[in-house]
Amino acid sequence: AMVQLNGTTTVKSSSYFGYGQSYEATSSGTGIIVGKSDTELLIVTNAHVVDNIDNLKCVFSDGTSASCSVKGSKSDQDIAVAAVSLSDISSDTASNIAIAELEDSLDIKVGQQVVAIGNAYGYGLSVTSGIVSALNREVTVQSDGQDITNKLIQTDAAINPGNSGGALLNSKGELIGINSAKAAATEVEGMGYAIPVSVAQ
User: Exactly one of 27, 48, 105, 180 is catalytic; which is it?
Assistant: 48
Annotated catalytic residue 107:
no
User: Exactly one of 27, 28, 133, 164 is catalytic; which is it?
Assistant: 164
Amino acid at 83: A
Burial tier of 127 (Cβ tally within 10 Å: 0-12, 13-18, 19+): middle
Q: Could you tell me how far CA 81 lies from the centroid of its own chain?
A: 10
Q: Are 123 and 161 in contact (CB under 8 A)?
A: no
47 membership: H or E segment, kind and range: helix 47-50
CB atoms within 10 A of CB 143: 17
Annotated catalytic residue 78:
yes
User: Exactly one of 27, 28, 73, 78 is catalytic; which is it?
Assistant: 78
Q: Could you tell me how far CA 19 lies from the centroid of its own chain?
A: 35
Annotated catalytic residue 164:
yes
User: Dihedral, CA atoms, 128, 182, 54, 88, nearest 10 degrees?
Assistant: 30
User: Any idea which residues carry the catalytic annotation?
Assistant: 48, 78, 164
